[in-house]
């Protein structure tokens, strides 16, 4: 038997608070493999830090979501929210599964087109659409979700100029019982703004009103809020039908389903408390079915789910840089993953585990990133074993937003790999290096030389 390493004994004041109903959790299981691929092998081959995506988890989660809705309602269409993770490999998995694209900028629109998504299967959301973006979207028959009056007038001018109708929906904001309300996007329902713009659209022959859209917020823990949103959009659809004898084709309820991550300060883990896809589907489809929309005109239900589809599929492997004792006696662990690579650490308490068997002595630990900034804290307090310098940790459920909201700061962004269904690993994004970082820099001639 291998001789165990000596560990200095420590006396700990118990400061973790009262046990919850599950008792006091005192061990963390190491994560030694991701989809049966050894974490140590991954680091040896691709370096550390390393983002790892599981194709199996992406496809399984997607199919679970689709099944939850399609078993309750005939006409369902998912549109992959590009901003959540716009790696081409990721987008293409969703497109292979049948998902359309939901984009919020000219850049994301270009990406969807370059990935091969047909124009009429791209939903164009957001407040920032240039005249060029809108012109292209109209020509491609994309579904433009109007965010504000100015955009309505831009579209009106473009349709006159190019002589082609725009296929549009409006984004509606409303009170669904979720606070604060996301009222800065789209047109308000309760104050009549949404109805006013719909009337303008309906009497203008440059527009074809094809749908109604809302996105009530993100990480919504109350499935019933979606029932309220679906009811209110259905009522709006019926009102349009009565006044203009016009049936909209779809209702798009946006994204916002909670992933299984745990919010900071939450008492119980997100995996125990967040609604399931079935809960959301039940609330939404019940509301649609109970609406006054005529059976033969039941709309296509579009969902732009982001984080709940991809969070579980992403892991971030890092390494211990140092173990330190702070002046107040607390232990800290410095790892090579900073908040620049894990943007979501500002609001989630991610699951963090050592990547190898480690000591069973757990101690309250602060986990710091490597950046020279005091706010670079990955976790304020976690019961954690000692992780020797050079050994690895795995942070789970990081697939959403971290690979788009990351910041290039101080260090190069690392590689991203994907493990396919057969357990083979593919690099889906290269790491940055001196050359890639300098490719966009331009140094004026007079600043090129200096003598020190
Ligand atoms: C319009 C729209 N649709 C979809 C999403 C995806 O949201 P989530 O990741 O919460 O599902 C967002 C994110 O903010 C959004 O703004």
| Mean local confidence (pLDDT), 243-256 | 98
Would you state the pLDDT for residue 444? 97
Ligand 1 closest atom vs CA 126 = 1
Among 91, 306, 343, 344, name the best residue to mutate to test ligand 1's pocket (greatest count of ligand atoms within 8 A of Cβ): 306
- Does residue 252 have its Cβ closer than 6 Å to ligand 1? no
Among 82, 83, 313, 404, name the best residue to mutate to test ligand 1's pocket (greatest count of ligand atoms within 8 A of Cβ): 83
Q: Return the sign of the alpha-carbon dihedral for residues 150, 151, 152, 156.
A: positive
Would you state the pLDDT for residue 25? 55
Residue 21, pLDDT above cutoff 70: no
Q: How far is ligand 1, taken at its centre, from the CA of residue 91, in Å?
A: 15
Give the pLDDT band of residue 19 (cuts 50, 70, 90): low
- Does residue 402 have its Cβ closer than 6 Å to ligand 1? no
| Mean local confidence (pLDDT), 63-67 | 98
Residue 24, pLDDT above cutoff 70: no
Write the CA distances from 350 to 266, 347, 396, integer angstroms. Answer: 12, 9, 6
Residue 169, helix vs strand vs coil: strand
| Mean local confidence (pLDDT), 282-304 | 97
Residue 14, pLDDT above cutoff 60: no
Would you state the pLDDT for residue 103? 98
Degrees, nearest 5: CA angle 38-271-265: 105
- C-beta of residue 52 within 8 angstroms of C-beta of residue 316: yes
The length of the chain is 452
pLDDT tens, position by position, 95-135: 999 999 999 999 999 999 999 999 999 999 999 999 999 99
Would you state the pLDDT for residue 359? 81
- Does residue 84 have its Cβ closer than 6 Å to ligand 1? yes
Write the CA distances from 412 to 13, 90, 159, 173, integer angstroms. Answer: 40, 22, 44, 39
- DSSP annotation of 295: G
Report which of 304, 336, 387 is spatially closest to residue 43, judged by C-alpha positions.
336
Residue 13, pLDDT above cutoff 70: no
Would you state the pLDDT for residue 26? 65
Fold classified for 55-311:
TIM Barrel (3.20.20)
pLDDT tens, position by position, 317-355: 999 999 999 999 999 999 999 999 999 999 999 999 999
DSSP output for 327-371: TTS-EEEEES--TTT-GGGGTB---EEESS---S--EEEEEE-SS
pLDDT tens, position by position, 218-242: 999 999 999 999 999 999 999 999 9
- Does residue 259 have its Cβ closer than 6 Å to ligand 1? no
- C-beta of residue 267 within 8 angstroms of C-beta of residue 20: yes
The CA distance from 78 to 95, in Å, is: 10
- What is the reported pTM? 0.93
pLDDT tens, position by position, 353-410: 999 988 878 899 999 999 999 999 999 999 999 999 999 999 999 999 999 999 999 9
Residue 408, helix vs strand vs coil: coil
Residue nearest (by alpha carbon) to ligand 1 atom 4:
255
Would you state the pLDDT for residue 339? 97
pLDDT tens, position by position, 159-178: 999 999 999 999 999 999 99
- C-beta of residue 90 within 8 angstroms of C-beta of residue 53: yes
Write the CA distances from 184 to 35, 83, 180, 346, 401, integer angstroms. Answer: 41, 18, 11, 23, 21
Residue 310, pLDDT above cutoff 80: yes
- Does residue 306 have its Cβ closer than 6 Å to ligand 1? yes
| Mean local confidence (pLDDT), 187-204 | 98
| Mean local confidence (pLDDT), 289-313 | 97
Phi, psi of 361 (to 5 degrees): -80, 110
Report which of 169, 245, 253 is spatially closest to residue 211, judged by C-alpha positions.
169
Cβ neighbours around 296 below 10 Å, total: 6
Q: How far is ligand 1, taken at its centre, from the CA of residue 405, in Å?
A: 13
* Higher local confidence (pLDDT), 18 or 282: 282
Q: How far is ligand 1, taken at its centre, from the CA of residue 186, in Å?
A: 14
The CA distance from 365 to 379, in Å, is: 8
The CA distance from 208 to 248, in Å, is: 9
- Domain assignments of the chain as residue spans, ordered by start: 33-53+312-433, 55-311
> Look-up: residue for tokens 């973790």?
16
pLDDT tens, position by position, 32-47: 999 999 999 999 999 9
The CA distance from 97 to 366, in Å, is: 41
**Residue 283 CB partners (closer than 8 Å, separation 6+):** 223, 224, 226, 227, 230
Q: How far is ligand 1, taken at its centre, from the CA of residue 14, in Å?
A: 41
Element (H, E) at 70: helix 55-70
Q: Which superfamily does 33-53+312-433 belong to?
A: Lyase, Ornithine Decarboxylase; Chain A, domain 1 (2.40.37.10)
* Higher local confidence (pLDDT), 157 or 8: 157
- C-beta of residue 224 within 8 angstroms of C-beta of residue 313: no
Would you state the pLDDT for residue 22? 54
Would you state the pLDDT for residue 358? 84
Residue 199, pLDDT above cutoff 60: yes
Q: What percent of the chain has pLDDT over 70?
A: 96
Among 255, 274, 280, name the best residue to mutate to test ligand 1's pocket (greatest count of ligand atoms within 8 A of Cβ): 255
Residue 298, pLDDT above cutoff 90: yes
Would you state the pLDDT for residue 3? 80
Would you state the pLDDT for residue 244? 98
Would you state the pLDDT for residue 392? 98
């Amino acid at each position: 038997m291998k001789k165990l390493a000596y560990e200095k004994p420590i006396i700990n004041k118990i400061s973790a608070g009262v046990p919850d109903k599950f008792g006091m959790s005192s061990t963390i299981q190491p994560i030694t493999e991701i989809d049966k691929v050894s974490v140590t092998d991954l680091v040896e081959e691709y370096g550390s830090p390393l983002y790892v995506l599981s194709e199996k988890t992406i496809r399984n989660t997607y199919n679970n979501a689709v099944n939850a809705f399609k078993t309750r309602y005939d006409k369902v269409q998912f549109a992959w929210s590009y901003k959540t993770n716009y790696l081409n490999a990721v987008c293409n998995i969703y497109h292979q599964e049948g998902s359309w694209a939901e984009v919020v900028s000219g850049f994301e629109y270009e990406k969807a087109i370059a990935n091969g998504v047909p124009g009429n299967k791209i939903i164009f959301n957001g407040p920032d659409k240039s005249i060029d973006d809108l012109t292209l979207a109209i020509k491609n028959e994309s579904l433009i979700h109007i965010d504000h009056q100015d955009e309505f007038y831009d579209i009106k001018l473009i349709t006159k100029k190019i002589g082609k109708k725009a296929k549009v929906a409006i984004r509606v904001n409303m009170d669904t019982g979720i606070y604060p309300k996301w009222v800065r996007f789209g047109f308000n329902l309760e104050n009549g703004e949404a109805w006013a713009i719909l009337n303008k659209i309906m009497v203008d022959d440059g527009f074809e009103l094809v749908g109604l859209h809302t996105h009530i917020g993100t990480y919504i823990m109350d499935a019933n809020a979606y029932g309220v949103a679906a009811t209110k959009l259905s009522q709006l659809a019926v009102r349009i039908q009565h006044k203009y004898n016009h049936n909209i084709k779809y209702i798009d309820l946006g994204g916002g389903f909670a992933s299984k991550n745990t919010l900071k300060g939450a008492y119980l883990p997100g995996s125990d408390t967040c609604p399931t896809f079935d809960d959301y589907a039940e609330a939404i489809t019940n509301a649609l079915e109970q609406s006054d929309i005529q059976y033969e005109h039941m709309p296509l239900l579009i969902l732009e789910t982001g984080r709940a589809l991809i969070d579980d599929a992403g892991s971030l492997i890092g390494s211990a840089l140092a173990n330190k004792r702070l002046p107040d006696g607390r232990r800290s662990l410095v790892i090579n993953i900073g908040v620049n690579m894990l943007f979501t650490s500002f609001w989630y308490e991610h699951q963090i585990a050592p990547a190898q068997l480690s000591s069973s002595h757990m101690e309250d630990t602060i986990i710091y990133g490597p950046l020279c900034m005091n706010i670079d804290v990955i976790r304020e307090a976690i019961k954690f074993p000692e992780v020797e310098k050079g050994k690895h940790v795995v942070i789970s459920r990081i697939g959403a937003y971290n690979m788009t909201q990351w910041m290039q700061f101080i260090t190069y962004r690392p590689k991203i790999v994907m493990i396919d269904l057969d357990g083979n690993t593919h690099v889906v994004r290269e790491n940055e290096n001196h050359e890639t970082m300098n490719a966009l820099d331009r140094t004026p001639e007079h600043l090129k030389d200096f003598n020190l």
